[in-house]
């Protein structure tokens, strides 16, 4: 069984790559091949989070099709990588993530309705509540990782125990800024967790076109930090690896690179057509590795799941997301004041002159 789990369907050139050192705790059947890092009650809580994240994601795609959102980047298939890693954080930890990381951001306190706002083309979607230190999603690829380094470095300099996690994809590791971020984190031993969701594709290009490295995790070696590859569709493995990285960071032992191997089941965004560059068979096979079904089976084996509970969880998730949509859509569009008023802390005289042209 272990061998089967370690063989990962990998996209693009349709070849199978075996990574024997990939951390794995739950197998495809939802059976433990290691020790569960969290108790049943916590697992049930995270299962609800997985379901809610998927409900949000499906709604995102639907709303975009209806013209109610701007471009949407589905995270379908990556729920465990996001929920499992974010679950290992303290509420006051920083998060610097991307347009495909709604699940992780929501786990850290970024409300669904604000995430929806950000995807609907509204600047106010970049403003989480005051106690939530999650930066608005980075749209440019790769430039944001160094921000997490700087943030966590500042916390270290100020003597707090706060750490920062940053999310990015396999494509982002090709950017020069990935190198600079990893290098600074290594040199200054910043309390940073680099969480790479290797979902197999950067838009149309498979991981093999991003790097000739066998794994992304091994890049950590070059920066003098710990690197580890985990099965990104295994909630327990992602949680455990992230928790260890977070603990190391908090203990002053520096940064970690985690490569969570997952699969982007959907298109890059709602504007993308994966049929142009990959075999649909791949997406079908990915369903066998569904990260949520695996947890469901585990809970069932443990006698902690039944159909009634499932129905209640699904219904609650649906209601929650519907309410978030209502909230997001109840807002009037941003005013000129919102736009002109947020360039600087105070509107400069030259800007005010333009603002008055718009509002007069």
Partner 1 sequence: MSELTLAGALTDALATALDKDQRVLVIGEDVGQTGGVFRITDGLIGRFGDQRVIDTPVAESGIVGAAFGMAVAGLRPVAEIQFMGFSYPAYDQILSHVARIRNRSQHRFSAPMVIRMPCGGGFGAAEHHSESTEAIYAHIPGLKVVIPATPYDAKGLLLAAIDSPDPVIFLEPIRLYRLVREEVPEGYYTVEIGKARIETEGSDVSIITWGAMTHEVREAVEVLAADGISAEMVDLRTLRPLDEDAIIDSVQKTGRAVVVQEAPKTAGFGAEIAALIGERALYSLHAPVERVAGWDTTIPLKKAEHRYMPTTEAIVAAARRTLDA
Complex with partner 1: residue 96 or 225, whichever CB lies closer: 96
- Does 229 sit near partner 1 (CB under 8 A)? no
Q: In whole angstroms, how close is the CB of 157 to partner 1 at the nearest point? A: 6
- Does 112 sit near partner 1 (CB under 8 A)? no
Six-digit token pair at 281? 């068979």
Q: Is residue 234 a contact partner of residue 206, using CB atoms and an 8 Å limit? A: no
Alpha-carbon distance 244 to 324, whole Å?
33
Complex with partner 1: residue 22 or 181, whichever CB lies closer: 181
- Does 158 sit near partner 1 (CB under 8 A)? yes
Residue 277 catalytic? yes
- Does 176 sit near partner 1 (CB under 8 A)? yes
Of 75-83, 195-203, 309-317, 349-357, the segment contacting partner 1 by CB under 8 A is: 349-357
Sheet of 192-198, strands arranged across: 94-96, 164-169, 192-198, 256-261, 226-231
Alpha-carbon distance 267 to 76, whole Å?
9
Q: In whole angstroms, how close is the CB of 43 to partner 1 at the nearest point? A: 33
- Does 135 sit near partner 1 (CB under 8 A)? yes
169: Cα separation from own chain's centroid: 9
Instruction: Specify the long-range contacts of residues 336-341, CB closer than 8 Å, at least 24 apart.
Output: 338/123, 338/124, 339/123
206 φ/ψ angles, rounded to the nearest 5 degrees: -70, 165
Of 27-35, 174-182, 209-217, 229-237, the segment contacting partner 1 by CB under 8 A is: 174-182
3-class DSSP assignment, residue 309? helix
Residue 264 catalytic? yes
| Inter-CA distances, 103 with 52, 119, 267, Å | 9, 14, 17
- Residues that bind partner 1 (rule: CB under 8 A) add up to a total of 44
Contacts with partner 1 by CB under 8 A lie at 94, 96, 123-124, 126-128, 130, 135-136, 140, 143-144, 146-155, 157-158, 164, 176-177, 180-181, 183-184, 187, 338-339, 342-345, 348-351, 353
- Catalytic (active-site) positions: 264, 268, 277
């Amino acid at each position: 069984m272990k061998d089967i789990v370690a063989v990962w369907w990998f996209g693009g050139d349709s070849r199978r790559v075996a990574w024997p050192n990939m951390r794995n705790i739950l197998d495809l059947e939802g059976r433990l091949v290691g020790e569960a890092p969290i108790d049943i009650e916590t697992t049930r809580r995270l299962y609800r989070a997985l379901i809610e994240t998927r409900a949000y994601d499906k709604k995102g795609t639907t709303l975009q099709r209806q013209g109610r959102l701007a471009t949407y980047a589905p995270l379908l298939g990556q729920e465990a990588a996001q929920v499992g890693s974010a679950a290992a954080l303290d509420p006051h930890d920083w998060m610097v993530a991307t347009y495909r990381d709604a699940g992780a951001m929501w786990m850290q306190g970024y409300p669904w309705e604000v995430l929806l706002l950000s995807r609907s083309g509204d600047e106010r979607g970049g403003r989480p509540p005051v106690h939530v230190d999650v930066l608005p999603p980075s749209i440019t690829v790769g430039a944001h990782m160094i921000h997490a380094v700087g943030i966590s470095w500042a916390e270290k300099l100020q003597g707090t125990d706060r750490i920062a996690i940053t999310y990015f994809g396999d494509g982002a590791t090709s950017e020069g800024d990935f190198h600079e971020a990893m290098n600074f984190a290594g040199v200054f031993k910043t309390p940073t967790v680099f969480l790479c969701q290797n979902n197999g594709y950067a838009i149309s290009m498979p991981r093999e076109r991003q790097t000739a490295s066998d794994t992304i995790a091994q890049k950590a070696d070059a920066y003098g930090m710990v690197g580890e590859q985990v099965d990104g569709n295994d909630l327990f493995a992602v949680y455990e690896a992230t928790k260890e990285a977070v603990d190391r960071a908090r203990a002053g032992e520096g940064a970690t690179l985690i490569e969570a191997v997952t699969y982007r089941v959907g298109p890059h965004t709602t504007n993308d057509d994966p049929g142009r560059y990959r075999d649909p068979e791949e997406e079908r096979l990915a369903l066998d590795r569904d990260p949520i079904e695996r947890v469901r089976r585990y809970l069932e084996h443990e006698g902690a799941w039944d159909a009634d509970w499932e129905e209640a969880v699904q219904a609650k998730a649906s209601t929650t997301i519907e309410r978030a949509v209502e909230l997001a859509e109840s807002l009037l569009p941003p005013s000129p004041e919102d736009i002109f008023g947020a360039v600087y802390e105070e509107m400069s005289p030259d800007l005010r002159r333009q603002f008055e042209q718009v509002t007069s």
